[in-house]
């Protein structure tokens, strides 16, 4: 049994490292099963304390200080730490270790993917490469030398810029890389193998030339073009928006098929999951192109927020991640449509982060303790972290925010910083005390804001009573009020705003910073009662409760001037209606509501990307946050009834829109993507009709589709419609794409995302299912457990069992992957009694069986 009891690391226990390591040379002699790593570091004591290095799974061949080999009695190796008792104040330490990259199935440290070497060191992978103080506040200048067989590994890459290179005896060769910027070990990277390269260059605003390369599988270079375009757009955007230029002569991206996450910002050598690099019009959807753009941006933006300024310790993870997500969201907004981007970001936040915040895994954006650092890369740290930066911009205004960012870049460049350091910059820039705002970082849970309005006709005065409450979360019963910046407007019902004392063009920001606050709004005498628009653009990550009935919400939707809120009014309406349909299984969907929803889609057809979003009903995962005990199957069928009625109301439009040709020639532009998004929405609604004619229409559209977006939309819509059309589509798609793993991932995911537990089991036994490839495992297990809640949480428990089996197998190879999949159980306590009992049994069985430390950390907290 590999059970390890999670030991918790605490923020309050932080102590600085007693030594500084100004520079380090790493010498790699690459062999699949026995790679030699020789490390030479110059160490200097800066304060009292022991000399301790981290190291995991390393075979130590030699160790010496200042050239003298150490005796076994001079050091101690225990619990993945190497301690040397007596060290001089200044010394050179040399170590020589052997590692086995081929056997590294955890994909952390140095490993092999498709016969090529690659690395992943964040958060604690570097200790699996060599002995080192593997913590982000120890920064050093890295010099790297790699030697390897030349025929098998013609390309040798690391961080920084290339130095000497040449041939060696025995068919080997070597290359040296130098990174002039001191960095923590988690940003180290190494790649070696045979690749095709898409090259380009960029000239920075300072006139510096940068060589760019995107390294991909042989024969795939043209599929790297979009990633390259995205990279150049990112470099330009960071210069224009934040005045930040790139700081090395080389920037490389390497795509790997086996990768635990999306991508990694290693200095000058980003390593990407190939899903976020490779794209071609025939094989990638618009969503893929968009994701590539945003993730390339995200990793590039880390160069300043993460690399130049890094984190003091892993509790500060949101310092780089929340901020960098905010930056990539802004990048996408500037390149595409701001309101559409905002809606998509909020959909993701509500689906993932609100769910996390409401369950047993809830934790503050900056936690006070953790069991396993790998499990801290959460929606809360990333997405809520980004929301807090956005809320800060609303609270202090864009000018103070921009000024604060410049102070941050200037004052903290080259350091390992904290959230306190970061906020001190905005206090300077705004002159405001932000200590109460920082509570947002310490308190878990999603605040609920209640808004009550009272209109005094005689005085032309609107009184708003706003109150806030954050529900209790694990180990945090009591919450204090946080400052909640709510953008607000007074709507006149004719598409305009109503002026009020102290409001600008009928708009203002209300900061709710107490448990309750009353705001008086004075209008000019004789004004009609305005409608209140609040939390515009989703200015704060809260749930807003208002006592608006259906008629009130419809009226508000018609009067709204904020596209986000228009969309959100319809989300609220749809949600309430789905709950009603769940409670009244005999009653048909409300005609008036359905036709208002259909009208909204038609009205916005000139902005097709936005119109497409208006066709999306809240998904089961979001619905069930508001229904305890949750009955996912019931919610799913109520949702489907509403969706069918919606499709019927749009039947004429569906035909009309799909009769028009898809834009040609294909471009991944926002404009064309918008057109295809609406077409995809219509394809989805065709499926919702569920008739035999719908199935045959979908099949013929599938057969003639000229791009992956529509082809996949048809396949997705056909999956739930049993019959020949469906079976043929599944087969043709497979036959056409069987040699393209990224497309086959989609093929697995559309089936797992809509099938039964038996389907998920069958897919996990398919010859192309591959336990060692995270993308493939997720295409079945995550698609099923995270997007198909009705089947996953079916009362018979079969869904839970399939996933538990996959998790148990995955955990033996790859604990980070297993732990991530386990989070699909996080909502189990909210389930109806049968599913709840089954989830509990399964979790206890897993706990009993013994899992990796990462997986155990999730199971233990989930059951707690």
Which residue, 130 or 305, is less far from Zn ion as judged by CB? 305
Residue 846 CB, nearest approach to ligand ARG (Å): 21
| DSSP letter (8 states) at residue 829 | G
Q: Are 426 and 396 in contact (CB under 8 A)?
A: yes
Site for ligand ARG in 104-133 (CB under 6 A): 122-123
Which CB, 384 or 627, lies closer to ligand ARG?
384
Residue 123 binding partner per list ligand ARG, Zn ion, none, with a CB distance cut-off of 5 to 8 Å that depends on partner kind:
ligand ARG
With CB under 5 to 8 Å by kind, the binding choice for 261 among ligand ARG, Zn ion, none is: ligand ARG
Q: Could you tell me which stretch among 114-122, 317-325, 476-484, 800-808 binds Zn ion (CB under 5 A)? A: 317-325
**Residue of 49, 41, 50 whose CA lies nearest to 91:** 41
Within 13 Å and on the Cβ side, how many CA atoms surround 287? 10
> Using alpha carbons only, what angle is made at residue 375 by residues 371 and 381, rounded to the nearest 5 degrees?
110
Contact 707, 279 (CB under 8 A): no
Q: Which segment (205-213, 258-266, 589-597, 603-611) binds ligand ARG by CB under 6 A?
A: 258-266
Choose one: 256-264, 308-316, 363-371, 605-613; the region binding ligand ARG (CB under 6 A). Answer: 256-264
Distances (CA, A) of 777 to 658, 813, 822: 34, 12, 13
What are 453's two structure tokens? 């309005």
Using CA atoms, how far residue 385 sits from 300, 310, 336, 377, 391, in Å, is: 18, 16, 22, 11, 10
188 binds ligand ARG (CB under 6 A): no
Nearest-angstrom CA–CA distance, 649 and 647: 5
Does the protein bind ligand ARG through residue 328 (CB under 6 A)?
no
Q: 288 with 279: CB under 8 angstroms? A: yes
Separation CA 787–CA 752 (nearest Å): 9
Least spacing, CB of residue 442 vs Zn ion, in Å: 22
| Residue in the shown chain whose Cβ atom is closest to ligand ARG | 377
As a whole number of angstroms, the distance between CA 309 and CA 312 comes to 9
Q: Which of 389, 645 has the CB closer to ligand ARG?
A: 389
Contact 541, 446 (CB under 8 A): yes
Residue 264, contacted partner among ligand ARG, Zn ion, none, CB below 5-8 A by kind:
ligand ARG
CA–CA dist 753, 741 (Å, integer): 18
324 versus 751: smaller Cβ distance to Zn ion:
324
SS3 68: strand
CB of 730 to ligand ARG, least distance (A): 33
The rounded distance, in Å, linking the Cα atoms of 544 and 622 is 15
374 binds ligand ARG (CB under 6 A): yes
Token output for 97: 């270790």
**Quick check: 139 and 115 in contact, CB under 8 A?**
no
Instruction: Specify the 3-state DSSP secondary structure of 820.
Output: helix
Structure token pair of residue 207 = 């006139």
Residue 208 CB, nearest approach to ligand ARG (Å): 24
Residue 306 C-beta: closest distance to ligand ARG, Å: 7
Q: Tokens 């991944």: give the residue.
A: 668
Select the span of 3-11, 295-303, 739-747, 787-795 touching ligand ARG (CB under 6 A). 295-303
Q: Which does 759 bind (CB under 5 to 8 A by kind): Zn ion, ligand ARG, none?
A: none
299, 330, 577, 826: the catalytic one is 299
How many residues comprise the chain? 864
Q: Smallest distance from the beta carbon of 677 to ligand ARG, in angstroms?
A: 26
- Out of Zn ion, ligand ARG, none, what residue 745 binds, judged by CB under 5 to 8 A for its kind, is none
Note if 299 is an active site residue: yes
As measured in angstroms, the least distance from the Cβ of 585 to ligand ARG is 43
Question: Taking CB under 6 A as the rule, does residue 377 contact ligand ARG?
Answer: yes
**CA neighbor of 784 nearest in space, from 750, 815, 744, 809:** 750
CA-based end-to-end distance of the chain: 22
Q: Which stretch binds ligand ARG (CB under 6 A): 298-306, 423-431, 662-670, 844-852?
A: 298-306
Which partner in Zn ion, ligand ARG, none is near 839 (CB below 5 to 8 A by kind)? Answer: none
Which of Zn ion, ligand ARG, none lies near 356, with the C-beta cut-off 5 to 8 A by kind? none
Residue 365 tokens, joined: 């954006």
SS3 506: coil
Contact partner, 374, from Zn ion, ligand ARG, none, Cβ < 5-8 Å per class:
ligand ARG
Residue 28 binds ligand ARG, judged by CB under 6 A: no
Which among 165, 176, 215, 155 has a CA at the least distance from the CA of 28? Answer: 176
By beta-carbon proximity to Zn ion, the closer residue of 317 and 803 is: 317
Query: 299 or 622: whose CB is closer to ligand ARG?
Result: 299
Token pair recorded at residue 622: 């979001």
Nearer to ligand ARG, 94 or 299 (CB): 299
Q: Which residues are catalytic?
A: 299
- Residues binding Zn ion (CB under 5 A): 321, 324
- Residues at the site binding ligand ARG, with contacts judged by CB under 6 A: 122-123, 261, 263-265, 298-299, 302, 321, 374, 377
């Amino acid at each position: 049994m590999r059970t390890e009891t999670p030991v918790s690391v605490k923020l309050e226990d932080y102590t600085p490292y007693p030594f500084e390591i100004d520079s380090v040379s790493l010498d790699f002699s690459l062999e699949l099963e026995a790679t030699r790593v020789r490390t030479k570091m110059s160490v200097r004591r800066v304060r009292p304390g022991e000399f301790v290095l981290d190291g995991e799974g390393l075979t130590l061949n030699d160790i010496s200080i200042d050239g003298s080999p150490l005796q076994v009695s001079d050091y101690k190796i225990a619990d993945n730490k190497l301690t040397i008792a007596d060290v001089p104040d200044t010394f050179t330490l040399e170590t020589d270790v052997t590692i086995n990259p081929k056997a590294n199935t955890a994909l952390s440290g140095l490993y092999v993917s498709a016969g090529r070497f690659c690395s992943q060191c964040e958060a604690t992978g570097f200790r699996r490469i060599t002995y080192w103080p593997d913590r982000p506040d120890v920064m050093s200048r890295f010099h790297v030398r790699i030697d390897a067989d030349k025929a098998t590994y013609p390309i040798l890459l690391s961080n920084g810029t290339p130095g000497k290179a040449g041939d060696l005896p025995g068919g080997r060769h070597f290359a040296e890389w130098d990174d002039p910027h001191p960095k923590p070990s988690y940003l180290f990277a190494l790649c070696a193998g045979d690749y095709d390269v898409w090259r380009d260059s960029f000239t920075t605003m300072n006139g510096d030339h940068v060589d760019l390369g995107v390294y991909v599988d042989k024969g795939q270079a043209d599929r790297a073009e979009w990633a390259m375009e995205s990279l150049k757009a990112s470099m330009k955007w960071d210069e224009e928006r934040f005045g930040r230029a790139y700081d090395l002569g080389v920037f490389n991206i390497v795509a790997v098929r086996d990768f635990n996450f999306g991508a990694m910002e290693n200095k000058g050598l980003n390593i990407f999951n190939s899903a976020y690099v490779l794209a071609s019009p025939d094989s990638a959807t618009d969503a893929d192109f968009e994701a590539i753009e945003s993730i390339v941006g995200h990793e590039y933006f880390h160069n300043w927020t993460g690399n130049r300024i890094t984190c003091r310790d892993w509790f500060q993870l949101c310092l780089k991640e929340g901020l960098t997500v905010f930056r990539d969201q802004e990048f996408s907004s500037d390149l595409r449509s701001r309101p559409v981007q905002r809606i998509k970001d909020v959909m993701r936040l509500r689906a993932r982060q609100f769910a996390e915040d409401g369950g047993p895994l809830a934790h503050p954006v900056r936690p006070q303790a953790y069991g396993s650092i790998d499990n801290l890369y959460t929606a809360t740290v990333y997405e809520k972290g980004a929301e807090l930066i956005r809320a800060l911009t609303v609270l202090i205004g864009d000018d103070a925010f921009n000024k604060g960012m410049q102070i941050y870049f200037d004052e903290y460049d080259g350091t390992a910083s904290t959230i306190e350091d970061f906020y001190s910059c905005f206090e300077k820039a705004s002159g405001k005390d932000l200590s109460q705002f920082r509570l947002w970082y310490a308190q878990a849970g999603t605040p609920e804001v209640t808004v009550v309005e009272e209109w005094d006709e005689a005085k032309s005065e609107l009184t708003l009573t706003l109150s806030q409450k954050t529900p209790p979360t694990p180990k945090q019963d009591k919450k204090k009020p946080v400052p909640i910046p709510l953008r607000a407007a007074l709507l006149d019902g004719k598409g305009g705003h109503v002026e009020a004392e102290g409001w600008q063009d009928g708009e203002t920001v209300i900061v709710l910073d107490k448990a309750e606050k009353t705001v008086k709004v004075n209008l000019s005498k004789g004004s009609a009662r305005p409608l209140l628009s609040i939390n515009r653009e989703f200015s704060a990550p809260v749930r807003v409760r208002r006592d608006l009935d259906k008629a009130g919400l419809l009226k508000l939707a018609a009067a709204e001037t904020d596209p986000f809120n228009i969309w959100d009014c319809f989300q609220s309406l749809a949600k309430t209606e789905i709950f009603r349909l769940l409670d009244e299984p005999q009653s048909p969907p409300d005609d008036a509501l359905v036709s208002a929803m259909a009208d909204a889609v038609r009205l916005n057809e000139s902005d097709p990307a936005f119109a497409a979003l208006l066709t999306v009903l809240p998904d089961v995962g979001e619905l069930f946050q508001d229904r305890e005990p949750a009955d996912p199957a019931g919610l799913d069928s109520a949702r489907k009834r509403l969706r069918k009625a919606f499709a019927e109301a749009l039947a004429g439009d569906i035909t009309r829109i799909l009769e028009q040709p898809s834009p040609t020639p294909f471009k991944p532009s926002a404009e064309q993507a918008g057109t295809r998004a609406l077409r995809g929405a219509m394809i989805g609604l065709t499926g919702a009709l569920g008739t035999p004619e719908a199935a045959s229409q979908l099949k013929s559209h599938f057969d003639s589709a000229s791009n992956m977006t529509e082809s996949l939309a048809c396949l997705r819509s056909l999956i739930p419609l049993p019959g020949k059309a469906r079976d043929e589509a599944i087969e043709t798609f497979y036959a056409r794409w069987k040699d393209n793993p990224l497309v086959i991932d989609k093929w697995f995911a559309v089936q797992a995302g809509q099938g039964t537990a038996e389907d998920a089991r069958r897919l996990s036994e398919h010859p192309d299912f591959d336990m060692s490839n995270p993308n493939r495992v997720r295409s079945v297990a995550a698609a099923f457990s995270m997007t198909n809640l009705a089947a996953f949480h079916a009362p018979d428990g079969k869904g839970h069992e399939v996933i538990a089996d996959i998790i148990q197998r995955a955990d033996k190879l790859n604990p980070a992957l297993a732990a991530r999949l386990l989070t699909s159980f996080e909502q189990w306590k909210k389930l109806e009694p049968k599913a709840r009992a089954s989830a509990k049994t399964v979790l206890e069985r897993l706990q009993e069986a013994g899992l990796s430390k990462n997986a155990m950390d999730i199971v233990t907290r989930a059951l707690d």
